[in-house]
Chains A and B, each alone.
Chain A
Amino acid sequence: AQKITQTQPGMFVQEKEAVTLDCTYDTSDPSYGLFWYKQPSSGEMIFLIYQGSYDQQNATEGRYSLNFQKARKSANLVISASQLGDSAMYFCAMRDQSGGSNYKLTFGKGTLLTVNP
């Protein structure tokens, strides 16, 4: 069974500093995708970044990068140069990309990030 673990219920960071949000996963499928979503207080779910299990390089999207350590089954999100607008709940999610349920996203419980001025 799939499982996503986000061990940090809450994180604090000073504006302009970098922060790492942890995510570990468990799957027996060799082909899978990892996603990070941001949910600000306004409620919408915003897609941030994707990492495929066979991707050779860590994914990057602007200030977001994914520290993908396949052997450790971790996919930590790194936000560089934090901004006040980064304050939000962040969800890690995984989808197995083979098998009959390859459409299902499994979400972690989320990490609430607060950026302090």
Chain B
Amino acid sequence: DAGVIQSPRHEVTEMGQEVTLRCKPISGHNSLFWYRQTMMRGLELLIYFNNNVPIDDSGMPEDRFSAKMPNASFSTLKIQPSEPRDSAVYFCASSRRDRTTDTQYFGPGTRLTVL
């Protein structure tokens, strides 16, 4: 079975540009998570969707960040305008909420560099 798919794998952009990260969760999973990983702060949960509805966006750093999940098989994380401090690895993860273990499976990540 295909795992979580993220694109692009690497993104280099200039400050002020719009960046869109994409995620396709595992088929049949009804929860989707966006994380950011940096050396300084480790793994941070940015936003959590359940059944395509945003449940918790308290981790979104500021209004420059937005996330959508228009259907069960696709989500985007957008940064507009991007800043150098947004440079990080962004992970998407998905899970089945009706399973006891509710294990989150991560995608390969998008390494974002903002110059």
Chain A positions near chain B (C-beta within 8 angstroms): 33, 35, 37, 43-47, 50, 52, 91, 95, 97, 101, 103-105, 107, 109-110
Contact = CB atoms under 8 A, between A and B. Distances in A.
A26 to B, nearest CB: 17
Given A103-B48, A103-B55, A103-B56, A47 B42 contact: no
Nearest to A101: B56
B42 A50 contact: no
Contact of B97 (A35, A91, A103, A104): A103
B106 A103 contact: no
B107 to A, nearest CB: 8
B102 interface: yes
A94 B105 CA distance: 14
Interface in B5-59: 31, 33, 42-43, 45, 48, 50, 55-56
